[in-house]
Amino acid sequence: MKTILYIIFLTAFSFIWSDLFAQEADSLDLLSDDSVQIEQELLPSKMLLTKRLLWGKRGFMRYTGIMPLNAENREKEMKIRRMMLISHQAIGSLTMLSMIGTGITGQMLYNGKINKFTHHAFAEATNIGYSIVALEALFSPPALISKRNKKWSNVDWHKMFAIIHFTGMVTTNVLSEQAEEGGVKWKNAHRASAIITGVAFTAAIVSIKF
């Protein structure tokens, strides 16, 4: 599971910043706009590498003919994107609850009130949920083109917090091994990383709802 997180992190952290100010419109009405007629305008100019490899003009879905790039298919992709967004938010909320459980059982473990298996069960559930949420964010169809203003939006906040909790998830998992081997210093570092990650993840969820 940690290996999966490392791969997700390395991919996302390298390219998510370039997408921080990308266009995020999600309205199907744009497909009927006269300005969205030629092939190259059906896709935003800025995309995560993962999205570009899958949904780009020469991406896997286009190259294989599974989803040729045209207005009709882009409309289908927006429906897929919407479904993935709903799933992303739902699983994200469950993962947040799992994170809280992981934090509570972690403190109980430090105090010697429970065995490590209970804490590990919550931690694994958190890792699985987080991996699903991350994969949905990385591989969902790209948004449509829009004339987005330059004001800082809730989407920008969401992405900023995402960078923080991506980093925190990997750090927390790495430090968990050190914490198990003993040493107050490692346990405190693991706890601090987990708290920062949990706060950033919660903030990311809250920011997108307002």
DSSP state of 45: S
Tokens of 206: 């809250």
Predicted confidence (pLDDT) per residue in 59-103, tens digit: 999 999 999 999 999 999 999 999 999 999 999 999 999 999 999
User: Closest by alpha carbon to 43, among 16, 68, 14, 74?
Assistant: 74
> For the stretch 185-205, what's the b/e string if a residue is b when 16 or more beta carbons lie within 10 angstroms of its beta carbon?
ebbebbbebbebbbebbbbbb
The token pair at 17 is 């910043």
Confidence of residue 154 (pLDDT cuts 50, 70, 90): confident
Q: Residue 130 is encoded by which pair of tokens? A: 């987080």
**Of 11 and 202, the one with more pLDDT:** 202
Rg (CA), the chain: 19
Question: What CA–CA distance (Å, rounded) separates 62 from 70?
Answer: 10
Exposure string over 18-37, b if 16+ CB within 10 A, otherwise e: ebeebbbeeeeebeeeeeee
pTM of the model: 0.76
For the ranges 132-141, 147-156, 172-181, which has the lowest average pLDDT?
Answer: 147-156
Per-domain residue ranges for the chain? 2-151
Q: Which of 121, 130, 109 is nearest to 179 (CA)?
A: 109
Extract the tokens encoding 200.
Answer: 């950033």
Give 52's contacts (C-beta < 8 A, 6+ positions apart): 59
Q: What is the pLDDT of residues 168-185, one digit of tens each?
A: 999 999 998 888 777 788
What are the DSSP calls for 72-93, one per residue?
Answer: HHHHHHHHHHHHHHHHHHHHHH
pLDDT digits (tens, 9 = 90+) for 13-40: 544 444 443 444 333 333 334 444 444 4
> In whole numbers, what is the pLDDT of the chain averaged over residues?
82
By C-alpha distance, which of 142, 169, 176, 170 is closest to 18? 142
